[in-house]
């Protein structure tokens, strides 16, 4: 059971968050994967008109903005992350006019709109690459990463691709190898070349002039390589199974070049010429903290960054959360973190973390934790419904990474299946045609229409949590301080001005008995899993498995 105070009580007395010039600080941003969000024309693929049609639902969640995954012209080898025209809309999604209407609809609903920018690589069908591969003397010959073979014809270095196999592909026209950190159809751009940087900044300017409010920079730590092409050293064994050659190396030379922040400073100078633009970096790798700080520090680079610590974690624990959050203390010059538990690149959190446990209860608890953390919160479509990972047979898979690593990983397709809108409709109301990925019949029970009618649903709980976060300054923008609590409990406070929000979680399977210091001074506003305990009370002393609460103290 979950409870929320509804009588106005302490929440009504909480100091409302002031209007901030930095709208994004503490914001909740809803990620839309357009292929799977809503299909308006029955071809089985979600589109921009479908996004427009669904924006009223997104606005009712109470979020601050939308992150829209790629909709650009693309051969779709990596479903839009292989861009063939950075300033075009792929016909499967619609037109530029549709995009302009989407911007207007979002802004009319009070939503900010953030879009992806993929600067690490393009599609091999992009006109830039078509020209670059023609010969070694054309104007764009140095716009991509080309290198001669070794004397024996082998690739220039031992670098490996994220999606499996070597990161170099031979091109007979130039009689050279080109670099691709992902698919061979995704050649790496050469951002050491100032002309390439200028062209990408022109792309950003194109979308800013169309009214977008920010960018998520995909795989930004891959945008520059070591020009000397030195071999990567082997990675130490961690005890975890390694399914890709990529996992056997430390990626010190094919990514994370020290000149990347200089390009980000150019990016920031551009975005600062517009009002209230938000930039957030995706930073992958086993030790992302140094880069996250480097990419966001000093107020001259990006606004925020997020990593895969939670996205790839097999288990959610107090220790993991404390370790991740403790690195962001709010010291002068430090950037602002963002957090995501689920997105289009990771299996859904409720499946990874809850397993066979109560999925609905776990989904509420995870949402509550995400929305209590210091930083921005990204909510992936369907996460607010508590959707589990879809179960897909091999022959229906579309994702090249999932196909290459079958059956050793859950893959990404299971988190990209169609959004369930109506429980009784074919394909959950996502499309009238055949969906590009199968609709998991289990997801009908999680449909939007069913949950909207249920006051105790995950959807309505998430709406309440977003409202709480938006209206209580301490929760949206306050500092965080961890409290010593008996393992495995997680306890911390969020503090701003005269308010303190106490947040306590039992993420494990055993009940825990503990009451924090000065508990009687707090008034509980929201809880999960307290088994019928009356809401709007003092913090309890017994926390059942998969339970938690947030309580407010004023003064």
Confidence of residue 179 (pLDDT cuts 50, 70, 90): very high
CB atoms < 10 A from the CB of 319, how many? 11
CB under 8 Å, gap of 24 or more: what pairs does 358-361 form?
A: 358/546, 359/386, 359/388, 360/386, 360/458, 361/2, 361/528, 361/529, 361/546
Cα–Cα distance, 465 to 34 (Å, whole number): 25
The pLDDT, as a whole number, for residue 239 is 80
- For 368-414, give the DSSP string: HHHTTSSSEEEEETTGGGTPPPP---GGG---HHHHHTTTTS--SGG
The answer to whether the beta carbons of residues 133 and 174 sit under 8 Å apart is yes
Question: The tokens of 11 are what?
Answer: 């929440």
Cα–Cα distance, 359 to 348 (Å, whole number): 12
Burial of 352 (0-12, 13-18, 19+ CB in 10 A): buried
DSSP letter at 38 equals -
Residue 540 lies in a domain: yes
Domain total of the chain: 2
Is there a single domain that holds both residue 425 and residue 511? no
- Separation in Å, CA 78 to CA 26, 186, 482: 31, 9, 40
Using one digit for the tens of pLDDT, what is the confidence trace for 62-84? 999 999 999 999 999 999 999 99
Residue 231 lies in a domain: no
Is there a single domain that holds both residue 394 and residue 537? no
Helix H or strand E encompassing 335: none
Cα–Cα distance, 275 to 450 (Å, whole number): 39
Is there a single domain that holds both residue 204 and residue 332? yes
Q: Does 218 qualify as catalytic in the annotation?
A: yes
The pLDDT, as a whole number, for residue 244 is 86
Question: The tokens of 290 are what?
Answer: 């140094």
Is there a single domain that holds both residue 455 and residue 485? no
Confidence of residue 546 (pLDDT cuts 50, 70, 90): very high
The pLDDT, as a whole number, for residue 5 is 39
Is there a single domain that holds both residue 81 and residue 40? yes
Is there a single domain that holds both residue 277 and residue 402? yes
Q: Residue 342 is part of a domain; what is its CATH number?
A: 3.20.20.80
Residue 267 lies in a domain: yes
Using one digit for the tens of pLDDT, what is the confidence trace for 319-332? 999 999 988 878 88
pLDDT exceeds 90 at position 2: no
What sections of 358-514 are H helices per DSSP? 359-370, 400-404, 448-452, 458-471, 473-477
Sign of CA dihedral 323, 329, 331, 336: positive
The answer to whether the beta carbons of residues 48 and 102 sit under 8 Å apart is yes
Q: Does 358 qualify as catalytic in the annotation?
A: no
pLDDT exceeds 70 at position 10: no
Beta strands across the sheet bearing 523-528: 2-4, 523-528, 547-554, 499-506, 490-496, 479-482
Share of the chain above pLDDT 90, in %: 85
Query: Is 326 or 387 the better-scoring residue by pLDDT?
Result: 387
∠ CA 33-189-228, nearest 5°, is: 135
Count of CA atoms in the C-beta half-sphere (13 A) of 535: 19
The pLDDT, as a whole number, for residue 6 is 37
The pLDDT, as a whole number, for residue 111 is 98
Is there a single domain that holds both residue 27 and residue 109? yes
Single out the catalytic residue among 64, 218, 399, 499.
218
Residue 272 lies in a domain: yes
Using one digit for the tens of pLDDT, what is the confidence trace for 440-478? 999 999 999 999 999 999 999 999 999 999 999 999 999
The answer to whether the beta carbons of residues 34 and 47 sit under 8 Å apart is yes
Is there a single domain that holds both residue 268 and residue 370? yes
What pTM did the predictor assign?
0.94
The pLDDT, as a whole number, for residue 17 is 38
Cα–Cα distance, 452 to 463 (Å, whole number): 10
Using one digit for the tens of pLDDT, what is the confidence trace for 228-237? 999 999 999 8
Is there a single domain that holds both residue 430 and residue 503? no
Q: Tell me the residue range of the domain where 320 lies.
A: 18-119+193-224+259-466
Single out the catalytic residue among 282, 291, 384, 413.
282
- Separation in Å, CA 135 to CA 140, 145, 149, 151, 175: 9, 13, 16, 21, 9
pLDDT exceeds 50 at position 1: no
Which single residue is written with the structure tokens 């949590």? 465
Averaged pLDDT score across all residues of the chain: 93
- For 142-185, give the DSSP string: TSB-EEPPPTTS--SS--B-TTSSBSEEEETTTTEEEE-SS-TT
**φ and ψ at 31, to 5 degrees?**
-90, 125
Question: The tokens of 444 are what?
Answer: 């009908």
The answer to whether the beta carbons of residues 427 and 439 sit under 8 Å apart is yes
């Amino acid at each position: 059971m979950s409870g929320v105070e509804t009588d106005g009580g302490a929440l009504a007395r909480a100091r409302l968050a002031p209007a901030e010039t930095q709208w994004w600080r503490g914001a909740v941003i809803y990620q839309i994967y357009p292929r799977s969000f809503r299909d308006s024309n029955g071809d089985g693929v979600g589109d921009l008109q479908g996004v427009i049609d669904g924006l009223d639902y997104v606005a009712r969640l109470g979020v601050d903005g939308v992150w829209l995954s790629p909709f650009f012209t693309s051969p779709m080898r990596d479903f839009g992350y292989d861009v063939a025209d950075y300033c075009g809309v792929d016909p499967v999604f619609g037109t530029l006019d549709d995009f302009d209407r989407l911007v207007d609809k979002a802004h009319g609903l009070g939503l900010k709109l953030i879009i992806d920018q993929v600067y690490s690589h393009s599609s091999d069908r992009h006109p830039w690459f078509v020209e670059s591969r023609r010969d070694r003397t054309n104007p764009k010959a140095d716009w991509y990463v080309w290198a001669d073979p070794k004397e024996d014809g082998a690739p220039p270095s031992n670098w490996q691709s994220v999606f499996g196999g070597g990161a170099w592909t031979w091109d007979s026209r130039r009689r050279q190898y080109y670099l691709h950190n992902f698919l061979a159809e995704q050649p790496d751009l050469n951002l050491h070349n100032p002309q390439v940087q200028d062209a990408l900044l022109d792309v950003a300017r194109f979308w800013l002039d169309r009214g977008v409010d920010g960018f998520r920079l995909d795989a930004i730590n891959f945008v520059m390589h070591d020009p000397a092409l030195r071999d990567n050293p082997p990675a130490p064994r961690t005890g975890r199974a390694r399914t890709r050659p990529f996992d056997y190396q430390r990626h010190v030379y094919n990514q994370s070049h020290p000149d990347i922040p200089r390009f980000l400073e150019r990016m920031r100078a551009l975005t600062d010429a517009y009002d209230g633009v938000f930039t957030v970096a995706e930073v992958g790798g086993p030790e992302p903290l140094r880069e996250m700080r480097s990419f966001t520090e000093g107020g001259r680079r990006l606004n925020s960054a997020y990593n895969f610590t939670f996205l790839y974690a097999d288990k959610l624990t107090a220790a993991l959360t404390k370790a991740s959050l403790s690195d962001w203390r709010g010291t002068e010059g430090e950037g602002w973190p963002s957090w995501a538990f689920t997105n289009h690149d990771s299996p859904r959190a409720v499946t990874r973390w809850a397993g066979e446990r109560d999925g609905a209860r776990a989904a509420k608890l995870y949402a509550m934790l995400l929305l209590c953390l210091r930083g921005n919160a990204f909510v992936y479509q369907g996460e607010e419904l508590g959707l589990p990972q879809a179960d897909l047979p091999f022959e229906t898979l579309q994702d090249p990474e999932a196909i290459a690593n079958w059956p050793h990983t859950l893959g990404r397709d299971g988190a990209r299946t169609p959004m369930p809108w109506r429980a009784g409709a074919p394909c959950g109301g996502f499309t009238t045609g055949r969906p590009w990925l199968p609709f998991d019949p289990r997801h009908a029970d999680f449909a939007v229409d069913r949950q909207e009618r249920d006051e105790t649903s995950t959807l309505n709980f998430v709406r309440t949590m977003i409202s709480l976060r938006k209206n209580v300054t301490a929760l949206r923008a306050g500092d965080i301080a961890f409290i010593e609590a008996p393992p495995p409990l997680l306890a911390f406070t969020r503090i701003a001005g005269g308010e303190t929000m106490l947040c306590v979680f039992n993420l494990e399977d055993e009940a825990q008995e503990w009451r924090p210091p000065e508990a009687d001074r707090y008034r509980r506003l929201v809880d999960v899993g307290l088994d019928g305990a009356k809401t709007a009370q003092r913090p309890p002393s017994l926390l059942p498995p998969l339970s938690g609460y947030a309580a407010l103290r004023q003064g």
